[in-house]
Structure 1
Amino acid sequence: MTKRYTIQDIAVLAGVSAATVSKIMNNTGNISKATQDRVRAIIKETGYSPTHSAKSLASKKTNLIGIVYAGKINVDLSHPFFNQVLNSFKSQIGLLGYDFIFFSNEQYKGNYLSRCRHYNVDGVLIIAGDDVEDAIEQLDHSSIPCVGIDIELKGERSSYVMTNNLKVSHLVVEYAYMNSIERVGMLGGTHDSRISMLREEGFKEAMKKFGLLLNEDWIVYGDYYEESGYRLMNQLIAKHTGNLPEMIFAFSDLMALGAVRALRENGLQVPGDMKVIGCDDIEACRYSHPKLTTIRQDKEKIGILAAKLLSDLIDKKGKTRSLLVDPELTVRESCGLSAEKTV
């Protein structure tokens, strides 16, 4: 009986990954001519074709994972938080025997499901941006295993991993209470994003729990980036001169760094006139002036858990489940502490 070759067979014979074979067959990617010639020669010799081996492809793994950056307002590889999460995911998923391929919403106009099926990926990692497209819900509810980062997937073959965002805000307000800080403001992310909603909910609940004054005028919204924090802080200073909060909690470190810049330009000192807390614990926090107090999200752990969850979904091990990772508060100079302390 004539052997029916799969894309994985071709990859093994050529000494490359299944993703490389797929790119060569679809004329995509930057693959050397020597590698292309070798793979095409093996394809010709074996008589392999995607149509001929469709049944085999449907029943066998390609060891290929799709990576989707979701959202019409997109995060990308330059985002410091997601970049570190993805690096952790990449290392772990590689140990589990997978390669991956990126799907661009600019190129495919959100038609992720058809592209994932075209490349016959075993599973998909979805990284959340803002204003997530309807096409993500279609992918979430498909038969393809999916794991989300900072997005709550609900499909039967989907899971997600994210930081416990209610606890993020609770840690900030608890710190304020323990240090006799009564006036706390909030620079939120995109108003209708799920992450922003959870952190705002946690913030308001904690303010009520600890009996601190909740001033709605000190709660404003941006987009997680530095210029947004800079703009929002300038607005607060202009509108509430003489009645500013003692401490501001920004929903990202980038926003916090922008807020610090605005405070300085307006002649206000950090932490003397206002203490500042960010979120994410990106590398820049350790080198900013002052060094930034922040809520540390365990980016390495999130990436590893996402890889293991996705592998389990692909191999149909156990039920789908979603995981919340506990954050930590790392106190630095922007809250008046000369030596770093994690609480």
Structure 2
Amino acid sequence: MGVTIKDVAKYAGVSPGTVSRAFHGYQDISEETRQRIFEAVRELGYAPNVNARSLSSKAAPNIGMIVSGLLESSGKDNTVYMLLQGVYKYAFENGMEVALYTTDSANQNRKPYVRFCMEHSLYGAILSGIKTNDSYFEELINSKIPCVLIDVNLQGQQLGYVSTDNVEAARAQAQYLFDANHQKIVVISGRKNAAVTMERIAGIYHAFQENGKELSRDCILYCEFSEEIAYENTRKFLQTKGRDAVTAFLCMSDLMALGVMKAVKEEGLKIPEDISIIGFDGLPIVEYTTPAITTIQQDFVEMGYQAAALLQNKMNGLETPSGIYVPFQFVERDSVRKLQI
């Protein structure tokens, strides 16, 4: 027999009704009692019985899309919107209710994942924006509430992930530049503690090794997936190393590619005549820059759709793959010049 709400109540020294009210976020429970209840949940490994709750209620099952770090994102980045489109499309087709919630690294310490789901009556969740040093990262491994992560390959009984093959996509980026005879490549990297950064760095290293080249640490600029930081670091690199130190910037996001483009132009250089730039994500805005940016296009709507489908299968106790890779598309535009040997 699994752990029941009565077991949680007994362990915490409260009534089952108090446990239920804590799960649903009622404010008439002291914070000390609430913490004791959720500590019991964690210690006992309690998770709601999704199928039983579905049978006992006429309401559609609730799933949540939890986005971490939303305030850090740029208004030019519409990836969350596209992911939510895909999630909602699947939910609508399958009679499910989906709601968007936000958190950040600090709030994860104050309100653990299990507590967050309980208080919002979530049967399962799709998480986007989780970093490897977030408190949710380790908690999810042992959680019994179904969860699907976007772009984080984390293994666990109730875990799944949906992503682009970031290793292969980044390898393709670098190989494209090598095929265009670029030798002086500078990588505009994301956050050091982001899973996608690690995977894309691995793909870039593969391409360098396959072409008999070495990627110097001085040629990796960590820019936090920020347009502003990419702009600042690119200007600093060009001013200190000189324009002859680089022929191409390989960017791990289109937003950072925009920052690089601005810095290159302000230094009096032309794109792609003097400097080539390649991006990653396929944001609509980079189709309209001058020049339009060559990029890796991710299908975020399909990623959201597949994440919702995988989550429902896990909620229903079905056998599922640990993860799903959604194909990417290489979009060739005008920001990369083929050099003459």
Native 8 Å contact 1:187 1:248 kept in 2: yes
The superposition leaves residues 237-281 of structure 1 with CA deviations (integer Å, 9 ceiling, x where unpaired) of: 012104322111111000000000000011011101110001000
1:220 to partner: Cα distance? 1.0
1:102 to partner: Cα distance? 3.3
**1:159 alignment partner in structure 2:** 160
Structure 1: tracts of 5 or more residues without a match = 1-21, 29-54, 338-343
**2:188 alignment partner in structure 1:** 187
Aligned to 1:334, the other structure's residue is in SS state coil
**Distance in 2 of aligned mates of 1:197 and 1:162:** 14
**1:59 alignment partner in structure 2:** 52
**1:234 alignment partner in structure 2:** 235
**2:89 alignment partner in structure 1:** 91
1:288 to partner: Cα distance? 1.2
**1:168 alignment partner in structure 2:** 169
Q: 1:93 to 1:152 in 2, by over 3 A?
A: same
Whichever residue aligns with residue 335 of structure 1, its letter is: V
Q: 1:95 to 1:137 in 2, by over 3 A?
A: farther
Aligned to 2:271, the other structure's residue is in SS state coil
The superposition leaves residues 317-340 of structure 1 with CA deviations (integer Å, 9 ceiling, x where unpaired) of: 213521123322211111149xxx
Q: 1:131 to 1:231 in 2, by over 3 A?
A: farther
Between 253-262 and 108-117, the greater mean CA deviation after superposition: 108-117
Check if 1:198 corresponds to 2:191. Answer: no
Native 8 Å contact 2:180 2:337 kept in 1: no
Aligned to 1:192, the other structure's residue is in SS state coil
**1:82 alignment partner in structure 2:** 80
**2:269 alignment partner in structure 1:** 268
Q: 1:261 to 1:75 in 2, by over 3 A?
A: closer
Whichever residue aligns with residue 264 of structure 1, its letter is: K
**1:279 alignment partner in structure 2:** 280
1:312 to partner: Cα distance? 0.7
Aligned to 1:214, the other structure's residue is in SS state coil
**1:105 alignment partner in structure 2:** 103
**Distance in 1 of aligned mates of 2:158 and 2:49:** 22
**Distance in 2 of aligned mates of 1:268 and 1:120:** 55
**Distance in 2 of aligned mates of 1:334 and 1:139:** 41
The superposition leaves residues 173-210 of structure 1 with CA deviations (integer Å, 9 ceiling, x where unpaired) of: 22122222222110000122211111111111211101
1:72 to partner: Cα distance? 9.8
Whichever residue aligns with residue 226 of structure 2, its letter is: Y
Give the CA RMSD over aligned residues.
2.8
Whichever residue aligns with residue 87 of structure 2, its letter is: F
Native 8 Å contact 1:57 1:120 kept in 2: no
Between 226-235 and 171-180, the greater mean CA deviation after superposition: 171-180
Q: 1:179 to 1:320 in 2, by over 3 A?
A: closer
Whichever residue aligns with residue 120 of structure 2, its letter is: Y
Whichever residue aligns with residue 233 of structure 1, its letter is: T
| TM-score normalised by structure 1 residue count | 0.76
Larger relative CO (CA 8 A, sep 6+): 1 or 2?
Answer: 2
**Distance in 1 of aligned mates of 2:172 and 2:182:** 13
Q: Identity, % of aligned pairs?
A: 24
Native 8 Å contact 1:167 1:326 kept in 2: no
1:73 to partner: Cα distance? 8.0
Aligned to 1:306, the other structure's residue is in SS state helix
| TM-score normalised by structure 2 residue count | 0.76
**Distance in 2 of aligned mates of 1:77 and 1:311:** 31
Whichever residue aligns with residue 52 of structure 2, its letter is: S
Aligned to 1:155, the other structure's residue is in SS state coil
The superposition leaves residues 65-113 of structure 1 with CA deviations (integer Å, 9 ceiling, x where unpaired) of: 0222235985599742232122112211221111123333267734331
Native 8 Å contact 2:162 2:306 kept in 1: yes
Structure 2: tracts of 5 or more residues without a match = 1-20, 28-47, 55-59
1:120 to partner: Cα distance? 2.8
**Distance in 1 of aligned mates of 2:322 and 2:49:** 29
Q: 1:156 to 1:129 in 2, by over 3 A?
A: closer
Whichever residue aligns with residue 93 of structure 1, its letter is: A
Aligned to 1:301, the other structure's residue is in SS state helix
**1:220 alignment partner in structure 2:** 221
1:57 to partner: Cα distance? 7.9
Q: 1:216 to 1:243 in 2, by over 3 A?
A: farther
Native 8 Å contact 2:25 2:119 kept in 1: no
Aligned to 1:333, the other structure's residue is in SS state coil
- Could you list the runs of 4 or more consecutive aligned residues of structure 1 that deviate by over 4 angstroms after TM superposition? 25-28, 55-58, 71-78
**Distance in 2 of aligned mates of 1:131 and 1:72:** 17
**Distance in 2 of aligned mates of 1:330 and 1:239:** 32
**Distance in 2 of aligned mates of 1:171 and 1:70:** 29
Whichever residue aligns with residue 90 of structure 2, its letter is: Q
